[in-house]
Amino acid sequence: MSITVIFFLGLIIAFVGVIPPGLLNMTAAKISLKEGYSRGVVFSLGVCVIVFLQTYIAAMFARYLTNHQDVVEILQRVAFVIFVLITIYFLLIAEKQPKPNIEANSKSKHSRFFQGMFLSAINVFPIPYQAYMTITIASFGWMKFEKISIITYVTGAAMGTFVMLYLYIFFFDKIKDKNFTSQKNMNYIIGTITGIIAGVTLINILMEL
């Protein structure tokens, strides 16, 4: 598989992973709104530095797991259950939850970069998420655990994260003005995506039986 395809796989997978409104993307949007576009971007760059490292760790973990197929099979089943639960949450439950409080305190541009690194570092979800997704695309033969492939994928993941954070920054005014009236549609989109991932995972499990 060409490195271009691997790059875009990393970009798309990371992009999808950052779609749900959470601490990182909402903080980036709020910083941009209150302190200016440039500080929101600086915060996002700090986030992406850690995402790069987390995705690299996840890829190394995935490479190890490919040599221990019994562990991979267990993780696939656990991941399937998790994605099903996430799908149910976003399709049936999330719209009933109150909108998040995303107040941001004033800080310097440099501290925003390190704040992005810190908040990203305490958000460990990308590691198991990327490890599972890396194993999945490798099982389809779309990626091999070679150095150039891993670096390309990790770079794509960092870029995908930045793109989604930038979209939150860019569109936050419209989302805020609508008081999250579009949140229901966003939940349906996220639920559909995780449902597709759950379906792919189930197909993988059935093919290995």
Does residue 55 carry a pLDDT above 70? Answer: yes
- pLDDT (tens digit per residue) in 88-108: 776 776 555 555 444 445 555
Tell me whether residue 202 is in a domain: no
Residue (of 81, 63, 123, 91) closest to 190 by Cα position: 91
Does residue 57 carry a pLDDT above 70? Answer: yes
Tell me whether residue 163 is in a domain: yes
Instruction: Give the mean pLDDT of the chain.
Output: 78
Tell me whether residue 112 is in a domain: yes
Tell me whether residue 93 is in a domain: no
CA dist 47 and 39 (Å) reads 12
- pLDDT (tens digit per residue) in 169-200: 888 756 555 554 455 665 676 677 667 777 87
CA dist 148 and 134 (Å) reads 14
Number of domains in the chain: 1
Provide the pLDDT for residue 71: 66
Question: How far from 134 is each of 52, 128, 140, CA to CA, in Å?
Answer: 14, 10, 10
Tell me whether residue 62 is in a domain: yes
Helix (H, G, I), strand (E, B) or coil at 104: coil
Asked if 134 and 58 count as a contact pair (C-beta separation under 8 A), the reply is yes
Provide the pLDDT for residue 56: 94
Tell me whether residue 7 is in a domain: yes
Asked if 101 and 23 count as a contact pair (C-beta separation under 8 A), the reply is no
Which residue range forms the structural domain that includes residue 118?
3-75+100-177
Tell me whether residue 48 is in a domain: yes
- pLDDT (tens digit per residue) in 138-162: 878 888 888 899 999 999 999 999 9
Residue 42: pLDDT band (50, 70, 90) is very high
Enumerate long-range contacts of 84-91, CB under 8 Å, 24 or more apart: 84/195, 84/198, 86/191, 86/194, 87/191, 87/192, 87/194, 87/195, 87/198, 88/191, 89/191, 90/20, 90/187, 90/188, 90/190, 90/191, 90/194, 91/187, 91/188, 91/191, 91/195
Tell me whether residue 203 is in a domain: no
